[in-house]
A and B are shown apart, each in its own frame.
Chain A
Amino acid sequence: MRLGRYELTLEPRPAVSAVYTVLTAVVAILLALALSSFLFLSADASLLGAYRAVFSYAFFNPRGILATVQRAIYLLFCTYAFLVPLRAGLWNIGLPGQVFAGALAAFAVPFVLRAQEQTLALPPGLLILLMVAAAAAAGAMLGGFAGLLRARLQVNEILVTMMLNSILFWLVAYMIKEGGPFMGATAEGEGFTLPAPLTAPLLRGVPFTAALALGAAVLLDLLFAKTALGYRIRAFGENPAAARYGGISPVALSLLVFLLGGAFAGLAGYHAFTAVPGVYKIPGNYGFYGDLAFYGIISALIARGSAVGAVPIAVLFAGLSLGARFAQGALHLPFGVDYALLGLLMMTFIASHALYQFRLAWRRVPSEVLQPAPTELPEG
């Protein structure tokens, strides 16, 4: 665009400093929070009061803090599930399906061993370990299926994972509703309740999955920063063609990142339904957990692929989504403030992404360019 003697253009940013990366993330989140004030316009409280309700419940109320931690663990697993394939340039939007697969597999362990009715056949510690392994394996299988199709035949992974989401959503309904195998003894439309010894052990109200989630953050960042495999994944993600010439096998890599991502989503499913006090079953509103998994997409995107960087973001989003639900009830807001926040975050992320990749250049047009160039060829 030309304005008088100046020209305004968008040009790609050559190299982006770490500070700028953090800055764009912070700006994107703050902007989404600012925009969410529109959601509070119909509230029974002042704007400040609405924000206070959200934050005080999520981060200062003892019950709220525990709930925030629980949800942050869930979101972190979902974040990794999206983040690992993203580093290889692939989109795993199959988080809900893989979460459901993990949950079904975890509950299949006590179901198969008939542990929900009689005395336990195996020590509970071993059973819990089996449940964790089954959940991770089921998530990995579902993810790996999409990864394999992508790797071998270039089948669009977005479509496959999305179809798997719908399939698993209805499969869970089949399993827990209308006389399905996992249906609870008393409640209609819910899965059976896990016997107390099989629930995830808690330390001061925090399940052991917290340690897994935090440990995975460090390990993942080490993987990407320090190992040959991590380097290959990043190289493949940034330029698949160049990576192939460099001797990196796209088939093995695509499969691997999807297996790993799916396993994390499976763990998220394990955590959500067996480690959160007050749940301990696949509830009738399991679909909500699937929707919540999409926060994992946005936190991985805003963290720009850094697992450790995603930790504070996931904690914040966990608190915000819970606080929004709380404020919704307390201030008589319409349903779905937490969903709206998800949408707003996505919007500001895209805007910040544009600013991250491009800068506005404002420069003076050299005066000789403005003069019409001679159009006739010199003679001869």
Chain B
Amino acid sequence: MWDLLARSLGASTIFLFAALGELVNQRSGVLNVGLEGLMLFGGTAAFITAQTTGSYPLGFLAGLTIGGLLGLAHGFFSITLRGDQVVSGMGLWILSFGLTTYLGSAYTGPLGLARIPSLMGLSPFFLVGVALVAITWLLIFRTSLGLAIRSAGENPAAAEASGISVVAIRYLCVTVGGVLAGLSGATYTLSYNPVWNYNFLMGWGFVSLALVFFSMWNPWILLAGASLFGIMWQLSLSPELVLPGVLSRYVWRTVPFAITIPILVVISTPWFRTRWGLAKPEALGRPYAKG
């Protein structure tokens, strides 16, 4: 039981890192729907680097760097060029999906390094994730930088008028978001499941994106959501632990995705929106042009 829970929290960590980055992104008003792409590219870069150099730190460094660079690319398109953020995000995703399939194909298979030590089965990255949640919460709600980020996402014109550089804040946030997405991908390929396979994420990034909406842009709720989905994900991979012999294992694989849709529906109802949904950044997805 503990093994399963520990493994589930390991899965939660992947969701958590990526979603936390996207949360910071969205708090500043930038939507990046290409999260899965950033994770794929970061994870692949980390895997290839770690395997060729035999060093985990270098692998993580590569993953974080690639994630950050892709985040910056999204920033350039959506902040400087004020382009459609969905076009850019989707573009980054398909770009990463295509290129990583090619670049990584020679590395298909296990990583072949000694596993990163765990704490009684629990991934140390989960603790990093919890710490990052606390830091992000403090940053967003208790510092002046956080106030600047939130105001850039709510009302950029007012933020600019109060002396905040919306462009700088948003660039900072997309880069941080990209780095965290890269970290998520790297944690997947180096720790959670160190076997490279084409399109290894198969929807993790999009579930993470949905988690940001579920969290109502609050890091603590995000932690709860990510933990829940990690458990659900792990159960869908090994349903025989709970309900042996009931339904095909393939049917169980659909469960995390199938649950996501009704949750999305509930949080989109007018009732929920008026009751809870006030946290959505007002300027989310809208480019800002300095007046």
Check A354–B81 contact: CB distance below 8 A.
yes
28 A-B pairs with C-beta separation under 8 A: A153-B265, A159-B206, A159-B209, A159-B210, A159-B260, A159-B264, A160-B264, A166-B203, A170-B253, A171-B250, A171-B254, A174-B248, A180-B250, A334-B102, A335-B101, A336-B101, A336-B198, A339-B97, A339-B101, A339-B198, A342-B98, A343-B96, A343-B102, A346-B98, A349-B91, A350-B83, A350-B88, A354-B81
Are B257 and A358 interface neighbours, CB within 8 A? no
**A interface list, Cβ under 8 A from B:** 10, 39, 91, 93, 149, 153-156, 158-160, 162-167, 169-171, 173-174, 177-178, 180, 291, 294, 297-298, 301, 334-337, 339-344, 346-347, 349-350, 353-354, 357-358
**Interchain CB contact under 8 A, A163 and B206:** yes
B197-226 CB contacts (< 8 Å) to partner A: 198-199, 202-203, 206-207, 209-210, 213
Closest to B107 in A: A334
Q: Please indicate the chain A residues that have their CB under 8 angstroms from the CB of B198 in the complex.
A: 335-336, 339
Closest to A342 in B: B98
Most chain A CB within a 10 A radius of its CB, from B91, B248, B249, B264: B91
Query: For residue A149, which residues in chain B have a CB less than 8 angstroms away from its CB?
Result: 261, 264-265, 268
Min CB distance A43 to B, Å, is 13
- Cβ-defined contact, B102 with A339, below 8 A: yes
Q: A156-B213, A159-B210, A177-B250 are in contact. List 9 more A-B contacts (CB 8 A).
A: A153-B268, A163-B207, A174-B251, A297-B90, A335-B198, A336-B198, A337-B102, A342-B94, A350-B77
A178 contact set on B, CB distance < 8 A: 248-250
B167 near A: Cβ within 8 Å? no
Q: Which chain B residues (70-126) contact chain A, with CB distance < 8 Å?
A: 77, 80-81, 83, 86-88, 90-91, 94-99, 101-103, 105-106, 108
Give the docked Cα–Cα distance between A358 and B87 (Å).
15
B246 at the A interface (CB under 8 A):
no
Measured CB to CB, the closest approach of chain A to B239, in angstroms, equals 12
Chain B at the A interface: SS class? helix
User: Does A167 contact B258, Cβ atoms closer than 8 Å?
Assistant: yes
- Nearest CB on A from B281, distance (A): 14
CB contacts (< 8 Å) of A353 on chain B: these are: 83, 87
Report chain B residues within 8 Å CB of A155. Answer: 264-265, 268
Contact for A350 among B87, B98, B99, CB less than 8 A: B87
Among residues of B, the one whose C-beta sits closest to the C-beta of A42 is: B106
B269 near A: Cβ within 8 Å? yes
- B198, closest chain A residue (CB): A336
Tally of A-B Cβ pairs under 8 angstroms: 139
B258 CB contacts on chain A under 8 angstroms:
163, 167
Q: Tell whether, in the assembled complex, residue B101 and residue A294 are in contact, meaning their CB atoms are under 8 Å apart.
A: no
How far, in angstroms, from A346 to B90 measured CA to CA in the complex? 9
Q: Which B residue sits closest to A341, measured CB to CB? A: B98
User: Chain B residues with Cβ under 8 A from A177's Cβ?
Assistant: 250
How far, in angstroms, from A225 to B213 measured CA to CA in the complex? 37
From B106, which residue of chain A is reached at the shortest CB distance?
Answer: A334
Contacts A158-B86, A347-B91, A354-B83 given; does A339 touch B106 at CB 8 Å = no
Q: In whole Å, how far is B278's beta carbon from the nearest beta carbon of chain A?
A: 15
Interface residues in B168-220 (C-beta closer than 8 Å to A): 198-199, 202-203, 206-207, 209-210, 213
Residues of A within 8 A of B45 (CB): none
Contacts of A165 in B (CB 8 A): 203
What is the CB-to-nearest-CB distance from B87 to chain A, in angstroms, rounded to a whole number? 6
Chain A residues lying within 8 Å of B206, measured Cβ to Cβ, are: 158-159, 162-163
Q: Is B235 an interface residue (CB 8 A)?
A: no
**Cα distance A160–B206 in the bound complex, in angstroms:** 10
Verify A154–B209 contact, CB threshold 8 A.
no
Query: Which residues of A lie under 8 Å from residue B9 when comparing CB positions?
Result: none
Nearest Cβ distance between residue A313 and chain B, in whole angstroms? 16
A347 to B91, CA, bound (A): 7
Residue contact A91 to B90, C-beta cutoff 8 Å = yes
Interface assignment of B33: CB less than 8 Å from any CB of chain A: yes
Residues of B within 8 Å of A39, CB to CB, are: 102
B94 touches A174 (CB 8 A): no
Q: Are B260 and A163 in contact (CB under 8 A)?
A: yes
Residues of B within 8 A of A334 (CB): 102, 105-106
Most buried by B among A39, A301, A343: A343
CB closest chain-A residue, reference B76? A354
B102 touches A153 (CB 8 A): no
Q: A170–B250 contact, CB under 8 A?
A: yes
- Name the distance in Å between A171's Cβ and chain B's nearest Cβ: 6
Q: A335 CA to B265 CA in the complex, in Å? A: 39
Contacts of A357 in B (CB 8 A): 81, 83
Q: How many Å from the CB of A368 to the closest CB on chain B?
A: 23
Q: Which residue of A lies closest to B205 (CB)?
A: A162
